[in-house]
Chain A
Amino acid sequence: MQKHRTRVVCSALLVVALAALGLAGSAQAKLTGLYTQFSQCPYLNLEVKKCLYSVTTSGEVVLGSKKVPIEKPVTLQGGTGAPGEDTFAKFFDASNGITLSKAPQNVPGGLLGIVPDASSPFLVKALIKFFLENSLTGVNSTLELAKSPSGIRVSELNLAGEEGTALEMPVKVHLENPFLGKNCFVGSSTSPITWKLTTGETNPPAPNTKIKGAPGEAELFEGGRILTLKNNKLVDNAWSAPKAAGCGGILSFLVDPIINSQLGTTTAGHNTAILIGTVNNGNAAAIRKNNTENP
């Protein structure tokens, strides 16, 4: 009797396991051709109307007096819902959770560029000496989402219309170097940097001056189901950034002020974001169809 019950339970578990595998299989993307770029779009969610796959390949982020060129591609991907009356659409997180890829960009000048040896307190100076002697001078700056992806807002109308905010994104900048520790950030979930990127012209406070973005060159693929904007240029130079915090681990009370002094003024009018790349937009219904046609 006991043996029989065990067998029944095992069989039931096996059925559940197989069913789970089956479900996982059906949720798995089996997209083909140009649709494959949308494999991490949550297109099975019927609220998702469009899928976004945007790759920034060049541009720059100027934070106060520090300019970081974008040399490694940064990917923004996910889904967008139906646009509201304000033309903005709700954003849906990428299926793999990597809505904004973490691409560390090299900070010119390295560690000494943000924590200068000469003006630092003795303890910091000694530590920096150690890092310099061990060739640990490179500093990376990684852009990360400061809030959940639902904080991203997209307006296709403004993107094509070269007017107003096309992409609003709450971000934080992660400064990375062994000396700076793991928690050296400019911006946080409670105090994010909010980029209001436009393909039109900005209107920043001084000393920044107006700069212009561009929607790029449009081309439709897959019989009007995918829209690609090449050489898309999104800009914002009216954003403000909070002070750097959490840098140098337990010495952050000493290191944060040094970094902030090196960054200089980071209030609105002193910072710039220029993102140049390719934006791919796919119709979610067409992607769903492609998925079901290729089991």
Chain B
Amino acid sequence: MRNTKTAIGATLAALAVLCAMFATSASAAPAWKFESKSLEGTETILGAALDSSLTIPGLTTKCANFLYKVNIKNEAGTGKGEVTELPLYNCTTNTDACTVDKIGAEKLPWASKLTTVSTTPYIIIEGVKVAILYGGEECVLGETLVTVTGSAGGSIDNSKETATFNSSTLSASGTELKALSSKIEWNGLFPTEAFQWHREQALSVS
């Protein structure tokens, strides 16, 4: 009799654990919130990267002015959005041989969505395409158009209202950026500040 009770108890405990797991995966699609309230309608995030660099092994490209405009909304309780503008200015490389003659985002808008990776909210940007034309008389990539493609996942820090992209966040979110057909690194820190209806309101993702 005691054994039966123990077995029932264990089964219930297992069910509870399973329910908890399912509950976690059900909440794996977070929403955009302002002052802890779910966003209704649309909003625009506009900002400039605090820091951003793109590295093909042996060549890092940085832009002093990395601006972005992202339109966000919630759809069926899940945060969605699209990157509509990404002007990049004053870009340089870490080499004395290679210059950045032209750089620009292509095939905008890029779709984005929110997700959760191990309890941390993430933004996933899909369909990324950035064309870079390097220059420099001694640069081996001189006059070669290098295209960065793929998708990128960045972790969102609600307390700092920033999104961070690096090799760890890309790996954790199962995303990848490629250039010259090789996996490349993208490091960036981006403030998530609303610019339209919810200006100066705390933006969070949960």
Contacts and interface: CB of A to CB of B under 8 A. Distances in A.
Contacts, number: 77
Interface string B93-127: 10111100000000000000000000000000000
B140 A214 contact: no
Interface in B133-165: 134, 136-142, 144-146
B58 A221 contact: yes
Interface residues of B, number: 25
B144 A218 contact: no
B16 to A, nearest CB: 47
A215 B140 contact: no
A223 B142 contact: no
Interface of B is mostly: loop
Interface in A205-222: 214-222
Sort chain A's interface into a size bin: 20 to 34
Interface stretch (A10-18, A62-70, A143-151, A280-288): A280-288
Contact of B140 (A216, A217, A227): A227
Contacts of A50: 140
A220 B179 CA distance: 12
A160 B147 CA distance: 10
Given A225-B139, A286-B138, 12 more contacts: A160-B146, A216-B181, A216-B182, A219-B58, A220-B57, A220-B59, A220-B95, A223-B95, A224-B98, A225-B97, A225-B138, A281-B140
17 contacts: A157-B144, A157-B145, A215-B182, A216-B181, A218-B182, A219-B182, A223-B96, A224-B58, A224-B134, A224-B138, A224-B139, A224-B140, A224-B141, A227-B140, A283-B140, A283-B142, A286-B138
Interface of B: 56-59, 93, 95-98, 134, 136-142, 144-146, 179-183
